[in-house]
């Protein structure tokens, strides 16, 4: 099985152009699955529905994985068996018969606009503070994933037209838009502090860390934690919080779901639809505080 796994990972890299991060996750899931099959003397080419159900039970009860992790694991295996079917190593994909556990619905967390303003206002006028302000404004203006933001090059920006070219999942390009605050902050960052942070290093990346290297996802999380601590707020903010806030704000202001889907780069509109739950609660709250028969 190890040989087929290696071929499959190479297929993901060459044919599908998957990122190293995605490849790594697939490999971890497949290696765990391979170990399980060896320990239970199961042939991966002849696995039955009942054996898959037992494996799912093993992931839950022995590995203590949550529903989301189990579903990701099963998705990796479903894709692997699609590959085996495509190359005529099996007649049909047995993992297509398995749905996986139902995930508990968790609404995404988002910020109030006043909380975002407080974060922006806490950024000072040092090179790092100017960079942080530009980063915050870009995150909220575009609603882009953090991986998309840290991989932006300076050449991806068109500040004159308020646009930025983003490379999303599956190497799909889309255009995100920048408001005046983001344009102003980015101009200031590029003209005054980015060069100082580079410190004679060479890089095309837009956002640079404190020693002139490329900014990482972990680096952004640290930046946000420091900003929250400095602003003395008691809220939980991750890079994805900005994406959730972006979608929620647009829907609350009347944007249609299809437009928000395209701006977020969601392949399926059902992924975007979760934000309607948030806006429904928002509308209900407005009603209860505004209708004269709802007031105490």
Mean pLDDT of 231-244: 88
The beta-strand segments (E) located in the chain are: 157-158, 163-167, 173-177
| 3-state class (DSSP) for residue 174 | strand
Q: Is 145 a catalytic residue?
A: yes
Confidence band (pLDDT; 50, 70, 90) for 103? low
Q: 154 Cβ partners below 8 Å, 6+ apart?
A: 190, 204, 205, 206
Contact 260, 251 (CB under 8 A): yes
Average pLDDT of 86-113?
Answer: 82
At 191-235, the pLDDT tens digits run: 999 999 998 889 999 999 999 999 999 999 999 999 999 888 888
Q: Which two tokens stand for residue 219?
A: 């680096």
Confidence of residue 271 (pLDDT cuts 50, 70, 90): confident
Active site (annotated) includes residue 169:
yes
The per-residue pLDDT for range 29-86, each reduced to its tens digit, is 999 999 999 999 999 999 999 999 999 999 999 999 988 889 999 999 999 999 999 9
> How high is the pLDDT of residue 226?
94
- The pair of structure tokens assigned to 131 is 């960079």
Tell me the whole-structure pTM to 2 decimals: 0.63
Catalytic-labelled residue, pool 58, 205, 266, 282: 266
**Cβ 246 vs Cβ 140: under 8 Å:** yes
Strand pairing category for 163-167 and 173-177: antiparallel
Triad 235, 237, 241: Cα angle to 5°: 125
Among all chains, which residue has been given the structure tokens 């003397």? 41
- Residue 201: active-site member: no
Share of residues in the chain with pLDDT > 90 (%) = 61
Instruction: Using the structure block, give the residue that is written with the tokens 């159900």.
Output: 53
Highest mean pLDDT among 1-15, 86-100, 119-133, 233-247: 119-133
**Contact (CB, 8 A) for 93 and 78:** yes
State yes or no: pLDDT of 111 exceeds 60: yes
> CA-CA distance, 294 to 273, in Å (whole number)?
28
Q: What is the pLDDT of residue 273?
A: 83
The reply to whether 240 belongs to the active site is yes
* Residues listed for the chain: 296
Is residue 186 a contact partner of residue 120, using CB atoms and an 8 Å limit? no
Catalytic residue among 131, 133, 145, 194: 145
What is the structure's pLDDT at 186?
Answer: 98
Question: Are the C-beta atoms of residues 45 and 89 closer than 8 Å to each other?
Answer: yes
């Amino acid at each position: 099985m190890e040989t087929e796994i290696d071929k499959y990972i190479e297929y993901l890299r060459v044919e599908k152009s998957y990122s190293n991060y995605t490849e790594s996750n697939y490999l971890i899931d497949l290696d765990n699955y391979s170990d399980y099959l060896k320990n239970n003397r199961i042939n991966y080419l002849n696995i039955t529905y009942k054996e898959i159900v037992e494996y799912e039970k093993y992931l839950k009860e022995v590995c203590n994985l949550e529903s989301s992790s189990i579903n990701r694991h099963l998705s990796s295996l479903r894709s692997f068996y699609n590959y085996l079917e495509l190359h005529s190593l099996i007649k049909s994909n047995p993992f297509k018969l398995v749905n996986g556990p139902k995930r508990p619905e968790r609404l995404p967390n988002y910020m109030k606009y006043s909380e975002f303003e407080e974060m922006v206002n806490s950024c000072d006028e040092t090179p790092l503070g100017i960079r942080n302000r530009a980063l915050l404004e870009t995150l909220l203006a575009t609603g882009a994933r953090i991986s998309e933001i840290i991989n932006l090059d300076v050449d991806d920006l068109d500040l004159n037209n308020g646009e930025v070219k983003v490379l999303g999942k599956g190497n799909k390009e889309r255009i995100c838009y920048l408001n005046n605050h983001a344009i102003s902050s980015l101009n200031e960052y590029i003209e005054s502090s980015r060069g100082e942070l580079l410190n004679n290093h060479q890089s095309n990346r837009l956002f640079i860390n404190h020693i002139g290297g490329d900014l990482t996802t972990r680096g952004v999380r640290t930046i946000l934690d420091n900003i929250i601590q400095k602003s003395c707020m008691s809220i939980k903010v991750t890079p994805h919080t900005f994406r959730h806030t972006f979608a929620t704000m647009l829907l609350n202001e009347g944007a249609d779901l299809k437009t928000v889907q395209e701006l977020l780069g969601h392949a399926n509109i059902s992924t975007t639809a979760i934000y309607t739950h948030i806006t429904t609660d928002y509308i209900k709250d407005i009603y209860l505080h505004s209708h004269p028969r709802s007031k105490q």
